[in-house]
Every structure is written in C-alpha cells, then in structure tokens.
Structure 1
Amino acid sequence: MTTKTLADYDFETGEVLLLDKPLTWTSFDVVRKVKSALRIKKIGHAGTLDPLATGLLILCTGKKTKEIDLIQAQEKEYAGTFRLGETTPSFDLETAVDMARPYGHLTDEQIWEATGPFTGVIQQTPPIFSAVKVDGKRAYELARTGQEAEIKAKTVEIKTFEITRIALPEVDFRVVCSKGTYIRSLARDLGVALGCGAHLTRLVRTRIGEHRVEDAFSLEAIEALRPPRPEGEGPARPRRERPSTAPNRVGLQYYAALQADALAAQQHQHDAPAKPETPTE
C-alpha cells in the first residue's frame, strides 16, 4: 500500500487518485461521489469499469486531467471467473441465462488449450450491451429495447490469457490486454471455442500500467475526508446512498434478483427448524 495518505493530496492543483470501485457502482457514480465529498471542481476517470466489475478505477483531478488519455492507453490486467455451460445476451450477469449446454465432458487440457487462439493481436467483437456506437446510438440502448445491431469487430491485443483455477462449471482467469478489450467478449468467445457457451460472473481490474489495485483507496476512506460545510452555507441535500444489492438502473435488475434469491435462501436456512421435516416437491 502506498505510504501517501489522502490528507497529503492536493486535489485542486491536480492528483492521480487510485480507487477500488465497489460492485454495482458505475464509473460516473464514483466520480460524482468523490467530487461531492472532496468538493473538487475538475475531475474525471481514466477508463470505464462496468457496474458489475470491481477493482482499480483511476481518477484525475485538476491539471492531472490532461493525463487521462495517456493513462487510458496503458495496458490493463484483470482477474475473474467465467461460468461454462450457460450464455447470456450481455455475456455477463446483467441479463438472464438464455441458453444452457453440457460442459461436464471437458477436460482441463481442453480448457487450457482453448485459450491459445485468443492471445496476441486478434479481432474481437464487442458485446451488444456495450457503449459502442451504432448509427449514432449506444449499442446498449438498442439492446435494452430489443433492437438488433451489427457490431463491427475491432483489433485488440491480449498479451496474457491464463486459466488459474478450474472447478467446473467455474473457470478463473488472469488477462493482460490492451485498451478496448472486452473481457465479456472473451468469455463469449471461449465458450464458443469449447462448444458449451460461457459468460462472465466476476471481474476485477487489478492493474492499469504501473498502477495497482493494492494501492487504491476505498470510497469509505474518501468519505471520511469530507471537509466541514462552510459556515453560512445552506444545508446539504440528503444523499441517497446506493443499496448494496438493489441497483436502480435498467439492466441490473437480474443481478439484483440473484442477490435477493441468495439472501432469501440464507434466511430460509437460518429459520429452518432443527428437527428435520419430510421434504416436499
């Protein structure tokens, strides 16, 4: 962890701030929260991170906003989990499973070998649920209204794609890649190569260039640094804190439902009587 504390930062003049983005928050959510908490006039982020991803999000303030493009161009490193045997339209947990196929016949060797064609400079097609523009509109806007769109493939470079754990149907991975690479598309493509389908269930951005998530601050640490309101200034409008399991944006309801089901199952187990009962269908 860096020895520099938040109190040492001069945000108005310009700083590069590393944050560990919480689950379900958009990158814009984080920027808005930090801007409000620290009362920074000029701030932006260097590389979007999906709401269902966590990990390193880099914020630039003041004069350091001029470095955003430079930081965005640096290589990225991710870790996460693919689930084999199921596909979703968004290639992740944002949408419900639309197809299931057998996966139990796959060997570890087959899974390891399937990563080979996806390393190096490759052509990759972004997800329909992405910010790619199609005829002037964001692709996800079309997808969420049921419209079809032709997404063109783009050139990306995947320097490292390694499988770090196999516990079918789950497969953990580590990827080092260029700007513009979609890990969700990599899940889709690996599933196609294996013939069983796959989607992304967990994603953590661990590095951008030389910046690492281990050196990142939490939003709680940022909030703790909030300065007192100047005397005479009107009362602040009550802040609406984002619920941890019930995101309020279209497209994340499925994720919220998964969390609600998990919580309900835990509660049911907690409330179950000690004496076993005859199971019912």
Structure 2
Amino acid sequence: MKQKEFDFEAGEVLLLDKPLTWTSFDVVRKVKNMLRIKKVGHAGTLDPLATGLLILCTGKKTKEIDAIQAQEKEYTGTFRLGQTTPSFDLETPVDAELPYAHLTEADLQAATAPFIGLIKQTPPLFSAVKINGERAYEVARRGDTAEIKSKQITITAFELMSIALPNVQFRVVCSKGTYIRSLARDFGAALGCGAHLTQLARTRIGEYSLSNALTITDVEALRPPRPEADPAKPPRPVGERHRPVRQGLAYYDASTAAAASAAAEKAPQE
C-alpha cells in the first residue's frame, strides 16, 4: 500500500478497524494528525468497547457521510445472560443477577422472533443521544437520570450463532440508529433473566466490509513525509504510541487489570 494510492485532501472513504477502548473521535483525531488532513469525519459512531468497521471520510467525501450512515449495518458479538449493568455493557459493574440455567436453546431461539422487523427501541442512557443539548452519557456518568424517548428501528436479522450459557454469540443486521446494547437489555428482559453486552464488532455498513478495513498501524504507513522545515518531535515510548485518553471506562479498566493480575498469579512459574 502506497501513499500515492490515496488523495486524502481531495477526498477518500477510508475503512478503519476501530481498536478496543478507543472512541470514534479518538480514531478521527489520530488519523487527522497522522495524515495531516484538514477535513475528516466518521460515518457512524462505535462505542469505546466495540471494535470493527468505522468509516472515515476525508476532503470532499465528507459530503457522503449522511448517505453512508443511513445504510444497513451488520454486527456480531456476545450477550452475557443472567446479569444486568446500568450501561448494558462492561462499562459499568453488574447491578443485578438472575437465574438463567433453566433456559433451553429453544427458549433462546424463540425469544429472537419479536425483535425482527420494525420495532420500537429505547436508546441507553449511556449513549451519545442528546438530552437538552447534552450528551446522555454525560448525564449518566454524573449519576443523574433522564428520560429517553423510544424510536422506530428495523432489525432484518437476529441470529444466535453459538449458545454456551451464560454466553450467547449473535449476528444482527439492522437499520441506522439501532443500539445493540439496548437489544441486549431487551433480549434479557424477554427471557426474564437479564443480559448485557460483553463483546461487539461491526462487520459491515452497506457494501463496505470489515474485511477490507485498515488497522491504525496500516494508516501509520500512509503517513506523509514531514516537511524539512518542520522538526520531528521526539518519539514516544512504543507502549504509549496508541494509547488515547479514555473517558468513562474506569470500571472496565479496573476489572480488566484485576483479571490480568489474577491470571498472572495462576500462571506456572518458570
């Protein structure tokens, strides 16, 4: 892949595989700085704890953002049954536990049917929905509550790919504005056991596929040479190169660190 294949200032549609814990704005800012592009925007937000296809438009191609956002989306991921969290994912700790062992595969498969088609869905409070001009997640992270109105969405496909209770792997094809975290909440409520999202990847937007996406490292290889008059900054340590500022993930970071520490303690000593 060579820099000459792209004209970012004139306009490109760039497919990126968003890293875990990065916000969509983290990716936009990183790419804008690396490639020294004046105009960059993303065509559809991904949560920090989601990975997968994030489409960036540069230059004149930013005019296509609305059209790309309106296209059908495909996701794969995992629901954890029997536990709920305020954010409907791993951003916040478990706040309730309910029995799930009595559920059969037939129960789970039957519970998907009411979610296929045109349905109403209420977005999570931990989301970018605006409430009186403020992002809902800002309200949630302060510990406040607010009412969010439901909206109509379309789910074309909701398939359970693998069931190993309490974990259920799924595939969803849906319209713009669908929150998979809300689907986790509603699916768990329909089963009577609660659920939350533990893993999510966006695999497709319209005809754009994750299989064709670049990693952040791939984008770094497209970095244009620095002008001679612009002195290079001292390189940061390798471990710091791809570590953006993360907001709202204190619980996730703490629990992940604790799990890693516990695994290290159990590892056989040489």
Give the TM-score normalised by the residue count of structure 2.
0.94
Q: Mapping of 1:1-281 within 5 angstroms?
A: 7-236=4-233, 241-243=241-243, 248-270=245-267
Cα distance in 1, alignment partners of residues 84 and 224 from structure 2:
47
Alpha-carbon distance between aligned partners in 1 of 2:142 and 2:35, rounded to the nearest angstrom = 37
- The CA distance in 1 between the partners of 2:199 and 2:245, in whole Å, is 20
- 3-state DSSP class of the match of 1:115? helix
Q: 2:139 & 2:94 partners in 1: Cα distance?
A: 19
1:265 CA drift (Å): 1.7
Kept after mapping to 1: 8 A contact 2:22/2:246? no
Question: Contact 2:11–2:62 (CA<8 Å) still a contact in 1?
Answer: yes
The verdict on how the C-alpha distance between 1:93 and 1:7 changes in structure 2, with shifts beyond 3 A counting, is: farther
The one-character-per-residue Cα deviations of 1:30-89 (angstroms, maximum 9, x if unpaired) are 111111111111111100111100000001111111100000000000000000000000
CA RMSD of aligned residues (A): 1.7
**Greater Rg, structure 1 or structure 2?**
1
Runs of 4+ deviating beyond 4 Å: 4-7, 237-240
Closer/same/farther in 2, CA of residues 54 and 197 from structure 1, 3 Å limit: same
Measure how far apart 1:5 and its partner are: 5.8
Cα distance between partner residues in 1 of 2:87 and 2:72? 24
Tell whether the 8 Å contact from 2:123 to 2:150 is kept in structure 1 after alignment: yes
Contact kept, 8 Å, 2:21 with 2:246, in 1: the verdict is no
- 2:160 maps to amino acid: I
Structure 1: tracts of 5 or more residues without a match: 274-281
Q: CA deviation at 1:227?
A: 2.0
Retained in 1: the 8 A contact 2:3–2:223?
A: no
SS at match of 1:173: strand
Amino acid at match of 1:176: V
Q: Gaps spanning 5+ residues in structure 2: where?
A: none
Residue identity opposite 1:207 in structure 2: R
Report deviation, 1:236: 3.3
What's the secondary structure of 2:193's corresponding residue?
A: coil
How far, CA to CA, are the matches of 1:6 and 1:49 in structure 2? 27
Task: Show CA shifts across 1:243-262 (max 9, x none).
Answer: 4xxx7534201111222122
- 2: distance between equivalents of 1:230 and 1:130? 40
The structural deviation recorded for 1:6 is 5.4
Q: Counterpart in 2 of 1:279? A: none
Q: Provide the secondary structure at the position in 1 that maps to 2:267.
A: helix
State the 1:144 CA deviation: 0.8
Number of residue-to-residue matches in the alignment: 267
Q: Residues 86 and 6 (structure 1 numbering): CA distance in 2 closer, same or farther, change over 3 Å? A: farther
Distance 1:203-1:7 versus aligned 2 partners, 3 A rule: farther
1:267 CA displacement: 1.3
The SS at the match of 1:91 is coil
Contact preservation (8 Å) 2:23, 2:246: no
Identity %: 67
TM-score, length-scaled by structure 1: 0.91
- Give distance in 2, aligned partners of 1:198 and 1:188: 6
Deviations 1:104-161 (A, max 9, x none): 0000000000011111000000001011112222111111111110111001000000
